[in-house]
Amino acid sequence: MAQIKSDALVFYGATGDLAFKKIFPALHMMVKRGNLDAPIIGVARGDYDLEKLRARAKESIQKHGKFEEESFQKFCSLLEFVGGDYTDPQTFSRIRQALGSAKNPTHYLAIPPVLFPKIIEQLDLSGCAKGARVIVEKPFGTDFESARALNKVLLSKFSESAIYRIDHYLGKRPVNNLVFFRFVNSLLEPVWNKDHIESIQITMAEDFGIQSRGAFYDVTGAIRDVIQNHLFQILCNLTMEPPKALDSESIRDEKVKVLKAITPLRGQDVVKGQYKGYLNEKAVPPNSKTETFAAMRLHIDSPRWEGVPFFIRAGKNLPVTCTEILVRFKHHPSAYSSIATQPNHIRFRISPDVTIAFGMLIMAQGEDMSSVLSEVQGNPTPFPNEKDAYERVLTDAMAGDPTHFARQDYVEEAWKIVDDYLASDFPVYEYEIGTWGPENVNELILPPGGWNNPAVLKK
């Protein structure tokens, strides 16, 4: 199916939370830019109709998007609604009818994966799967076995090239820029290895809790929610070998090689935390041991990275909301060693703003021969019309470009790294809201030179 433009979009879960926060604003922008001019069929259960769906879309775009009357009217003219139960064949006959003459529809399953088997079966029986592609959301399964079972369901009716597994971090330009930046700047490649890099750390901090997502979050936890997918993608971008070519498969092949070379997590590689008050959140069981924070150390067993420790840390209710990477360089002994008191670094900030900074030592003020760390910063000016992550991945899926989606083998390899650890019962330490996780993190998992705690100016 690659590179065939899809001629209709059917999205299941049209009245859900994800549709409200992300999908409607993304679709509206696609329509506005002229990237979507095909029927958009919202499917949902329950008591809904087209008028209500339009009203919900309007509210969603006004709240989470860039509402504009003219493009919204165009969006409404493309929008259709099909209501009904996902297990009822009648629902799918109606979808088939709504698809009209569309030959290559895209079915976007923005719904819980437990519903996938029935829907996939009905798509096939109703003829809706013919010539179609399917988009599914992360987390893809809850472990290796469930991911494999889900893949089996999807692959029974769709070919791998017609399956688009969303990880919206791959739709973020600064995340893709990591690969771009590494390989277009010839300065970097000679030092991007174990001989020169001391350690790499990735922090994804959020200064809010689980909001109203207790039911989802409690069976998921930080490792499944953001580390096994978003942060592993960042890690792959930072560490993969140069792809042979820029096509989707060459890039995705290199990422899978990184995951295969990562040693599976052991108990001593991870610290888990839970913020104080988590147990009082709605839909969280009183004895829950779900982690809202995790810090881990990983190793990549490859000639490039042998012996280099990688650190990943993610958590809810931390002091700031920021995703940042710090690459620390080794110090090479010389007559200047006693003056060079701090390592060089490169700092990539992915969000809330985008920064690339080189940390270099310069002569400190005064007459002494002493050094001070100074950052040379690049702050790429955000393009005012930049696509948001969901808009980018949905545009790519409709256009048939799978580069920024997780392939089956990628998802399965990612689970293999965390599976054994997640299946065991390791302690979860409590932490105060607004701190950098449990107090013992620094005793158990500490990057050389310490954790980089991003500072963000609060608005």
**Site residues (CB under 6 A) for ligand BG6?**
206, 225-226, 351, 389
CA distance 333 to 28: 56
- Rounded least distance, CB 225 to ligand BG6, Å: 5
- Rounded least distance, CB 204 to ligand BG6, Å: 7
Rounded to whole angstroms, what are the CA distances from 74 to 34, 54, 61, 214? 10, 12, 14, 36
Q: Which is nearer to ligand BG6, 163 or 389 (CB)?
A: 389
Q: Which is nearer to ligand BG6, 206 or 218 (CB)?
A: 206
- Rounded least distance, CB 93 to ligand BG6, Å: 34
Whether residue 227 contacts residue 312, with contact meaning beta carbons closer than 8 Å, is answered with: yes
Residue in 415, 408, 426, 416 with CA at minimum distance from that of residue 142: 415
CA distance 336 to 333: 8
CA distance 148 to 231: 21
Q: Which is nearer to ligand BG6, 226 or 235 (CB)?
A: 226
Q: How many CB atoms lie within 10 A of CB 100?
A: 11
3-state secondary structure (DSSP) of residue 354: coil
For the four alpha carbons of 387, 390, 393 and 399, in that order, the dihedral sign comes to negative
Q: Residue of minimal CB distance from ligand BG6? A: 225
Place of tokens 């108990």: 267
- Please provide the DSSP assignment of 127-162 as one string: TTTTT-EEEEPSS--SSHHHHHHHHHHHHHHS-GGG
- Rounded least distance, CB 350 to ligand BG6, Å: 8
Active site residue 230: yes
Place of tokens 């799967």: 129
CB-count burial class (<10 Å; 0-12, 13-18, 19+) for 364: middle
Q: Which is nearer to ligand BG6, 171 or 447 (CB)?
A: 171
- Please provide the DSSP assignment of 33-76 as one string: TTS--S-EEEEE-SS--HHHHHHHHHHHHHHHS---HHHHHHHH
Output DSSP code: residue 320.
Answer: -
- Rounded least distance, CB 206 to ligand BG6, Å: 6
What order do you get walking across the sheet with 163-165 strand by strand?
79-83, 40-44, 8-12, 105-109, 133-136, 163-165
- Rounded least distance, CB 113 to ligand BG6, Å: 14
- Rounded least distance, CB 351 to ligand BG6, Å: 6
- Rounded least distance, CB 436 to ligand BG6, Å: 17
CA distance 306 to 443: 24
Q: Which is nearer to ligand BG6, 128 or 231 (CB)?
A: 231
Strands 355-363 and 345-351, by their bridges, are antiparallel
Q: Which is nearer to ligand BG6, 6 or 288 (CB)?
A: 288
- Rounded least distance, CB 229 to ligand BG6, Å: 7
Selected catalytic residue, list 28, 64, 168, 230: 230
Q: First vs last Cα of the chain: how many Å apart? A: 45
| Residues in Cβ contact with 52 at an 8 Å cutoff, skipping those fewer than 6 apart | none
Catalytic residues: 230
